[in-house]
Amino acid sequence: MLALHAHRYYVLDDPQIPDAEYDRLFQELQAIEAAHPELLTADSPTQRVIGQVLPGLRPVRHAVPMLSIDTETDTTPEGARKFDARVRSALKLDEAAPSVEYAAELKFDGLAMNLRYESGVLVLAATRGDGETGEDVTQNIRTIGQIPLRLIGVDAPVLEVRGEVYMRRDHFERLNDQQREKGEKTYVNPRNTAAGAVRQLDPAATATRPLSFFAYGLGEVQGWEVPATHAGILDAFAAMGLPVSADRAVVQGAEGLIEFHVAMGAKRDALPFDIDGVVYKVDSRALQQQLGFKTREPRWAVAHKYPAQEQMTVVRDIDIQVGRTGKLTPVAKLEPVFVGGTTVSNATLHNEDATRRKDVRIGDTVIVRRAGDVIPEVVGVVLDRRPADVGEPLDLYKRLGGKCPICGSAIAREEGEVDWRCSGGLFCPAQRKQAILHFAQRRALDVEGLGDKLVDQLVDAGVIRTLPDLFKLGLASLNALDRMGDKSAQNLLANLEKSKRTTLARFLYGLGIRHVGETTAKDLARHFGALDRLMDASLEHLLDVPDVGPIVASSVRTFFDQPHNREVVEQLRAAGVSWGESDGAPEASAPKPLAGKVVVLTGTLPTLSRDQAKDLLEAAGAKVTGSVSKKTDWVVAGAEAGSKLDKARELGIAVLGEDELLALLAAPG
Ligand code: IVH
């Protein structure tokens, strides 16, 4: 079993179980063999360094064997102390002796590579293979832009540089995006993708996969004076034009190692590539020689691991959750598993397409990833472990009978979109808080003092269920809330009262109809003039509105087709929310002195806020845009105006101050 996984991992670059699971099995086997030596066989995976030469790539014997390194799986600071204690005892240092100096660096999660430079020129690149013999991958390695084909300032007959070829996480995601676009299989993780790319038989195939490299050690050397410390070697590498990670340090003793372990652990998720630990090396080469080797590993180095970010577990069920915006997300309910430092029992499957593409089903064994604060996700299925009674592929519509699991409204998926959504909008409890906050925000009804904490409290206490409930609030229910004094309760009620007098555009925007932003709300209000005309408008009629296309039109139609939504609108009107409506056909327009003008605002104006200036300009018929172009008529600039002002000057566009703007607005059209 273990041998099979080892073969998949090292030889085929296509593991079926996470590394942590392999490590666990390996350690289990080691423990069994230690307890029952009679069971130990010569071909046990514990008895050799695994990795074979692939048929097709030329075998290369390493001039100096490529060793492996001891792994400290105790991820606590104790792991570093144990290593320091082993080193000190091997060097016969007593407690009074000064602390040992270590070079601390990252443990990159890729594959080891030996780069052979002769007279400064790259002549051979070989994988580690079994440590004695690797594979010639020179052609492929030449496609990696980061690897110099000639070293700077080196003419030594032989200089072998060892390091790790890896794939950055963003490059990996981009590659998978491309695979999805092509409808091809996505890759499971950056490490295996990098390993697979390096061992391609066709260098052109390698070149399409973005690889990177970090140097961390030496192989054979002839005619080059090796620096006295490991840190010195890395500095020399950097000077030769080789990529060396900047996240390295020379530290003193166990405490220095621990500090590095903690610091890099905190930084781990912000790094653009995966690491599975840090590596400590005795810095002095003289001491390294004194310490020497065990069978395969140097005594002067250790890899100190971090908790694994991927683990294997079983999917018990697949739930569909409704988000604050009505988005329906399939979530795998898992057999709890310890991953990335916490116990995880839910992992997102993102959407129906992703679930089907990965073919995740109830009963499957899956690999779960949790990196830092990112929500845990299911990376893939371990198909080998699929039970005979596994569930059906996910059909979200069928699973839900076409209805939102929270409010029972119809669910819908727009063309070209991956997400199913609940159409309940204002009515759906899952969307309640979001809907209320949106309605109350400054650019909608503008209820001052109704922020997210208060909305949380009001909804959680069951005081507010739908938008109209806002206007039923009384002093008693507000005073009952935590931290709500009499004064602030009264202020809120006054603000609510004030907010009732609004505009049709603000009201429409506040309803939170999908795809109806502020500008579209204004367009709709201007075109229809009255809410009832808009609510009853046919699709064709909606499409008559300038700047309204089929997506917006159908979203407006769907919204007002839901009886719940109409009810909310009626109740809001009954509560006294009102605006001026034009009763004839389209709103009769007030004089618009700036009609057709395109204006950009930048910097801080002396008295007007950005929103006030925008409202004034729009009321006068101008269009306010975000970036300066040849179409811009004026740029209104205040203090600390930046690149937009430069751009205006460059294009010769008129720049106005606040006074000039106010003068323009006051001028008769
Ligand atoms: S030094 C004699 N340094 O981890 C020491 N290895 O088993 C040889 N690795 O195969 C390795 N980052 O692929 C070293 N900073 C680092 C490393 C590193 C990753 C890998 C390497 C090696 C394995 C250790």
**How many angstroms separate the alpha carbon of residue 171 from the centre of ligand 1?**
22
Mutate to test the pocket of ligand 1, among 72, 107, 261 (most ligand atoms within 8 A of CB): 107
Protein residue closest via CA to atom 2 of ligand 1: 67
Q: How confident is the model over 228-240, as pLDDT tens digits? A: 999 999 999 999 9
Band of residue 589 on the pLDDT scale cut at 50, 70, 90: low
Count of other CB atoms within 10 angstroms of residue 417: 12
Report long-range pairs for 129-132 (Cβ below 8 Å, ≥24 apart).
129/51, 129/52, 129/53, 129/59, 129/60, 129/66, 130/48, 130/49, 130/50, 130/51, 130/52, 131/49, 131/51, 131/62, 131/65, 131/66, 131/67, 131/68, 131/296, 132/61, 132/62, 132/65
Q: Which pLDDT score, from 0 to 100, does residue 397 have?
A: 96
pTM here?
A: 0.62
pLDDT at 47 over 80: no
Q: What three-state secondary structure class fits 639?
A: strand
> Rounded to whole angstroms, what are the CA distances from 232 to 117, 214, 218, 226?
19, 16, 12, 9
List 82, 92, 107, 487, catalytic entry = 107
Token pair belonging to 317: 């069920």
Query: What percentage of the chain has pLDDT greater than the value 70?
Result: 94
Which has the higher per-residue pLDDT, 485 or 394? Answer: 394
Question: Architecture of domain 424-589 in CATH?
Answer: Orthogonal Bundle (1.10)
- Fold classified for 89-305: D-amino Acid Aminotransferase; Chain A, domain 1 (3.30.470)
Q: How confident is the model over 603-640, as pLDDT tens digits? A: 888 888 888 888 888 888 888 888 888 889 999 998 88
pLDDT at 14 over 80: no
Band of residue 585 on the pLDDT scale cut at 50, 70, 90: very low
Q: What is 199-234 written as a DSSP string?
A: T-SSHHHHHTS--EEEEEEEEEEES----SBHHHHH
**Residues of 478-497 as b/e, b for ≥16 C-beta within 10 angstroms?**
beeeeebeeeebeebbebbe
- Asked if residue 68 has its Cβ within 6 Å of ligand 1, the reply is yes
**Cα Rg for the chain, rounded, in angstroms?**
33
> Rounded to whole angstroms, what are the CA distances from 448 to 355, 491, 521, 533, 607?
43, 9, 21, 30, 20
**How many angstroms separate the alpha carbon of residue 258 from the centre of ligand 1?**
19
- Asked if residue 217 has its Cβ within 6 Å of ligand 1, the reply is yes
Cα 225 from Cα 111, distance rounded (Å):
27
Q: Which pLDDT score, from 0 to 100, does residue 51 have?
A: 45
Within 8 A by CB and 6+ apart from 663, the residues are none
Within 8 A by CB and 6+ apart from 213, the residues are 113, 144, 146, 147, 163, 164, 165, 166, 242, 243
Within 8 A by CB and 6+ apart from 648, the residues are 600, 628, 632, 635, 637, 654, 655
Q: Which pLDDT score, from 0 to 100, does residue 452 have?
A: 85
- Asked if residue 298 has its Cβ within 6 Å of ligand 1, the reply is yes
- Asked if residue 187 has its Cβ within 6 Å of ligand 1, the reply is no
Mutate to test the pocket of ligand 1, among 72, 108, 305 (most ligand atoms within 8 A of CB): 108
Q: How confident is the model over 505-515, as pLDDT tens digits? A: 999 999 999 88
Mean pLDDT of 184-197: 87
pLDDT at 9 over 70: no
Please provide the CATH number assigned to the domain covering 1-47.
1.10.287.610
Question: Architecture of domain 598-666 in CATH?
Answer: 3-Layer(aba) Sandwich (3.40)
Q: How confident is the model over 82-123, as pLDDT tens digits? A: 999 999 999 999 999 999 999 999 999 999 999 999 999 999
Domain boundaries, the chain: 1-47, 89-305, 310-400, 424-589, 598-666
Q: Which pLDDT score, from 0 to 100, does residue 8 have?
A: 66
Q: How confident is the model over 544-555, as pLDDT tens digits? A: 998 899 999 999
Q: Which of 7-16, 151-160, 449-458 has the lowest mean pLDDT?
A: 7-16
Protein residue closest via CA to atom 3 of ligand 1: 216
Q: Which pLDDT score, from 0 to 100, does residue 584 have?
A: 44
Same topology between domain 310-400 and domain 424-589: no
Q: What three-state secondary structure class fits 535?
A: helix
Among candidate residues 480, 520, 526, 485, the one with its CA nearest the CA of residue 504: 526
Band of residue 53 on the pLDDT scale cut at 50, 70, 90: low
- Asked if residue 72 has its Cβ within 6 Å of ligand 1, the reply is no
User: In terms of C-beta density within 10 A (0-12 exposed, 13-18 middle, 19 or more buried), how is residue 38 classed?
Assistant: exposed
Within 8 A by CB and 6+ apart from 296, the residues are 49, 67, 68, 131
Q: Which pLDDT score, from 0 to 100, does residue 591 have?
A: 67
Q: How confident is the model over 147-189, as pLDDT tens digits? A: 999 999 999 999 999 999 999 999 998 998 898 888 887 787 8
pLDDT at 4 over 80: no
Band of residue 504 on the pLDDT scale cut at 50, 70, 90: very high
**How many angstroms separate the alpha carbon of residue 369 from the centre of ligand 1?**
23
Protein residue closest via CA to atom 16 of ligand 1: 107
Is residue 498 annotated as a catalytic residue, yes or no?
no
CATH classification of 310-400, choosing from 3.30.70.270, 3.20.20.100, 2.40.10.220, 2.40.50.140?
2.40.50.140
Q: Which pLDDT score, from 0 to 100, does residue 49 have?
A: 43
**How many angstroms separate the alpha carbon of residue 194 from the centre of ligand 1?**
16
Q: Which pLDDT score, from 0 to 100, does residue 24 have?
A: 79
- Asked if residue 67 has its Cβ within 6 Å of ligand 1, the reply is yes
pLDDT at 284 over 80: yes
